[in-house]
Structure 1
Amino acid sequence: MRAFADRAPRLIAIDLDGTLLGDDNRVSPGNLAAVRAAQAAGHLVVIATGRSLPDVRALWRGTGLVCPAIACNGALTCDAQGEVQATVPLDRSLALELLERTAGQGLYTELYMPETTYVTPDARAQLARERDELLPPGEREAGWEVAERHFAQVGLYPTGDMARALRESAAPPLKLLVFTFGAAQREALARTLGDRSDLGLTRSSPYNLELSHPDAQKGAALARLASAYGFGPERVVAIGDSLNDLSMMRFAGHAVAMGGAHPDVLAACADVTGPCGEDGVAQALNTLLALA
C-alpha cells in the first residue's frame, strides 16, 4: 500500500463491524485518531454500516465523531447532524410477506425502521438452543460472539407480532435481518429469495441474511452521497470486510480490504490493510493519506 500521489480531498467510506469497531463494540484510540486526522486534513469521512440509525448516533455520542452516515446497508442516509436525507424502503407488502415466512419458520428476525428495530422475543434463549444443537463444539464460542453483537445493538424492541408492529407504524420498513445457526434452513431461504427482482440479499456474517430493496445497497448509497458532495468515484475510498461491503468496494476508485476479510472482498480490493484488532483502518488512512 502506498500513499496517494496527491493530497486532494477524498471521500472515505468506512464500514463499522469488523472494520472500525472491534470485537468489544468500540472504536480503538488509534483508529479514532486516524479518522480525526483524515477529517482535519480535509477529507470527508462517511460511516457505511448495516446497523440502524440509532446505533450510528450512539457511535457519534461515544466517540465525538461528526460525519455523514449510510445506515441499514444503504436503505437510509443521514447528514453529520443525524438528520435523515433519504430512505430506500422495502415495499410494505413484501416486508409483511417476508415476516410471515420467517415467523412461520421460527427464525430470529430483526425489522429495521428509521428509529426502531423490532426483534424476535426471547432471542438469546432461542439462539443459545440453536448454538448448542446445530454448531460443532469448536465453532460455538465464535458463533455466539457474533450473536452477542446483535444483542448489543441500540434501540431493539422485542415483539411477538412483528407484522402487527409494521402494520400499525407509519414508518417505512428499511431492512429485515434473519439470523440462524441452522445452515440448511438459512441457505434454503437464500436460494428461495435470491432470484427475486424485487429484493436485494446480502450478508454481514456467516449466520445471517439481510433483505432490503434492490437499490438499498452501500454502493448505491455511496454513489448518491459522492455525487451530492461533488466527488467522482476516482476520489472515493472504501474500507470494509464483509459481503455487504462489496457494492461500495466496486463503486470506489480505491478499495481497501481488512486483514481477514471475506475472500470475495479481498478479491475486489486493490489493497489489504491489517485486521481490525491491529487498527487496520488507522494503518490504511495513515499510509494512503500520508497522515503519520
Structure 2
Amino acid sequence: MDIKLIALDMDGTLLNSEGAISNFNREKIAQALAKDVHVVLSTGRWFNTCYPYAESLKLPSFLITCNGGEIWTVEQELKERHLLDPERVKLMWELAKSMELNTWMISTDKVWYSSGPDDFSAHEWLKFGCDSDDKEKLDTIVKELSHYDDLELTNSLPTNIEVNPQGVSKASALNTVCKEIGIGMENVMAVGDSLNDIKMIQDAGIGVAMGNAQEAIKQAADSVTDTNNHHGVGKAIEKFVL
C-alpha cells in the first residue's frame, strides 16, 4: 500500500496517558515527513488545544478538529466548518443536565465545561459532549438523541457521547483533505482508539486500532498496534510507512 497520508487521533492514540508525545513517536513521524508523507492530526479536540502539538511536530499541511467539524491549515486558515443548530445544542444541554450528566460544548470561541450561555443562539456550535460512569444514563440519552436526524452520535471514550452535525466525521473531513492534496483514501493510514475514529479507520487504505482501543475499533481495523503508552503510533508508522 502506497501510504501518502497518516491520519492520527490524539487522545488515547498519539498522546500517552500523561498527554505527551513520546520521543519514539516523534522520531517516526519525523521520518515519515522526511519521505514526503503528510501527517494530519484528526481529533475531537478544538483547534486551540491541538495546534500546539502540530506545531511541535512541524506538521506541514492540515488539521482536522472537532471530529471533522473543522478543517484548518497549519497556517491557521479555516478551510471548512460545520455547525450545530443552537436550539438543538440547548435541547441537548438541558436534557443532559436534567439527567445529571457532565457536559462540555465546543463553540467557535471557547469550550464550555458544565455550563451554558444565557443565549445559545449568540454562539456558533461545533460539538456537544457529555459523560457519565452510569452506562444506563448514557444509553438513555443516546436513545433520546437518536430521534433527531440532524445529529451524528459517536464517542471518544466508552463513558461519553459526542455529537456533531449529521454527516460530519473524521472520515468525511479526511476525504476533503485527500482531494486538496490530490490523493485517494486508499493512500491513507488512519490510527485511532474510539468510535469517533471508526469511519476513518474503515475508509482508509490501512486502518489501525490502538492496543488500548475499544473492541469495536479493533474489529473494524486492518491491524492492531501497541497501546498509546507503548508507542503504538510510531510502531504502526514503522510497520506500514517506513
Instruction: Say yes or no: TM over 0.5.
Output: yes
2:183 maps to which of 228, 231, 238: 231
Tell me the residue number matched to 2:5.
Answer: 11
| One of 77, 80, 94 as aligned partner of 1:83 | 77
Q: Percent identity?
A: 28
**Aligned to 2:6, what secondary structure does the other structure show?**
strand
Secondary structure of 1:21's counterpart equals coil
Aligned-pair RMSD on alpha carbons? 1.7
TM-score, length basis structure 2: 0.94
Corresponding residue of 1:131: none
Contact 1:49-1:71 within 8 A present in 2 as well? yes
Which ranges in structure 1 are unaligned for 5 or more consecutive residues? 121-158
**Greater C-alpha radius of gyration:** 1
Contact 2:107 2:127 in 1 (8 A): yes
Aligned partner of 1:249 among 194, 201, 211: 201
Which segment drifts farther, 39-48 or 56-65? 56-65
Aligned: 1:168 with 2:122? yes
1:74 matched to 2:68? The reply is yes
Is the contact between residue 99 and residue 163 of structure 1 (CA under 8 Å) also seen in structure 2?
no
CA distance in 2, matches of 1:58, 1:181: 31
State the distance in 2 between where 1:102 and 1:58 align: 31
Aligned twin of 2:44: 50
Which residue number in structure 1 is paired with residue 150 of structure 2? Answer: 198
CA drift at 1:173: 0.3
1:101 to 95, 116, 126: 95
Report what 2:220 is aligned to.
268
Provide the residue aligned with 2:131 in structure 1: 179
Q: Deviations over 1:199-247 (max 9, x none)?
A: 1100111210101101221111111111121111211110111111001
Deviation at 1:49, TM superposition (A): 0.6
CA contact (8 A) 1:239 1:281 kept: yes
Where in structure 2 are the equivalents of 1:272-283 lying within 5 Å? 272-283=224-235
1:164 partner SS: coil
- C-alpha distance in 2 between matches for 1:272 and 1:233: 19
1:115 to 109, 115, 119: 109
> What is the TM-score of this pair, normalised by structure 1?
0.78
1:62 to partner: Cα distance: 4.8
Call closer, same or farther: CA 1:225–1:63 in 2, change over 3 Å.
closer
Equivalent residues of 1:76, 1:114 under 8 A apart: no
State the 1:112 CA deviation: 0.5
Counterparts in 2 of 1:39 and 1:227: CA distance versus 1, 3 Å: same
Which of 31, 41, 56 is equivalent to 1:37? 31
- Classify the secondary structure of the residue corresponding to 2:79: strand
State the SS of the aligned residue for 2:14: coil
Alignment of 1:279-290 (within 5 A): 279-290=231-242
SS in 2 for 1:86: strand
* 8, 16, 24: which one aligns with 1:22: 16
The whole-number CA distance in structure 1 between the counterparts of 2:139 and 2:204 is 30
Q: Distance in 2 between matches of 1:60 and 1:200?
A: 26
Q: Quote how far apart the aligned CAs of 1:268 are.
A: 1.2
CA contact (8 A) 2:103 2:129 kept: yes
Amino acid at match of 1:226: C
Q: Go from structure 1 to structure 2 and tell me whether the alpha carbon gap of 1:289 and 1:248 turns closer, same or farther (over 3 Å shift).
A: same
Tell whether the 8 Å contact from 2:84 to 2:164 is kept in structure 1 after alignment.
yes
For residues 168 and 88 of structure 1, what CA distance do their matches in structure 2 show? 16
2-side partners of 1:94 and 1:227: how far apart?
31
Q: Figure out how many residues of one structure are paired with residues of the other and give that number.
A: 242
Distance 1:65 1:225, change over 3 A: closer
